[in-house]
Amino acid sequence: MDKAVLQEYLFKEVELAQDIIGRMGNNSFLIKGAAVTLVAAALLVQGTLYDNFIALLPLVAFWYLDAYFLRIENLYRKLYGWLTVNRLNSEAFLLDLDVKSLEKRFGKEVNGLQRLMLSKTLLIFYGLLLLVIVLSILVKILL
């Protein structure tokens, strides 16, 4: 394939990768909003002490989902970097945007879910929510 055709593929692939990266960022934002909403709703339910523990379920679930979408975003960022460096010289992986394929190609270069869950940004956000839950449980115990 000549360079002009590869350049057209490059532009299209980069555009698709940017769209997916943007979508993953939006998913992360929506997940954070849903986590705050559900944790707050669970804490507002008046009942026994164990009702406050219910707030831990959405916290853990959304924390995991947020890390999952961040990992996918990082895989597409790696693809974006690879495309800008290699596409004009190679037809390899042409229009290959499948997550499983990216996992095989770049999976070892991107942090795993556990490490991402403990990254600064996610740990601060979800750690603060966890702190609120723990404090609400302690207040209920002491009162």
Q: What is the pLDDT of residues 80-93, one digit of tens each?
A: 999 999 999 989 99
- Would the pLDDT of 63 be above 90? yes
Residue whose token pair is 């879910």: 113
pTM summary value: 0.91
pLDDT at 65: 97
- Would the pLDDT of 115 be above 90? yes
Instruction: Answer for the pair 13, 96: CB distance below 8 angstroms, yes or no.
Output: no
Residues 6 or more apart from 125 whose CB is under 8 A from it?
A: 32
* All structural domains of the chain with their residue ranges: 3-142
Read off the pLDDT band of 67 (50, 70, 90): very high
- Would the pLDDT of 140 be above 90? no
- Would the pLDDT of 47 be above 80? no
Neighbours of 41 (CB within 10 A): 12
Contacts 24+ apart (CB under 8 A), 20-25: 20/72, 20/73, 20/76, 20/97, 21/73, 21/76, 21/77, 21/80, 24/69, 24/70, 24/72, 24/73, 24/76, 25/73
Amino acid at 24: M
pLDDT at 59: 95
Task: Report the alpha-carbon distance of residue 116 to residue 114 in Å, rounded.
Answer: 5
Read off the pLDDT band of 52 (50, 70, 90): confident
pLDDT at 27: 96
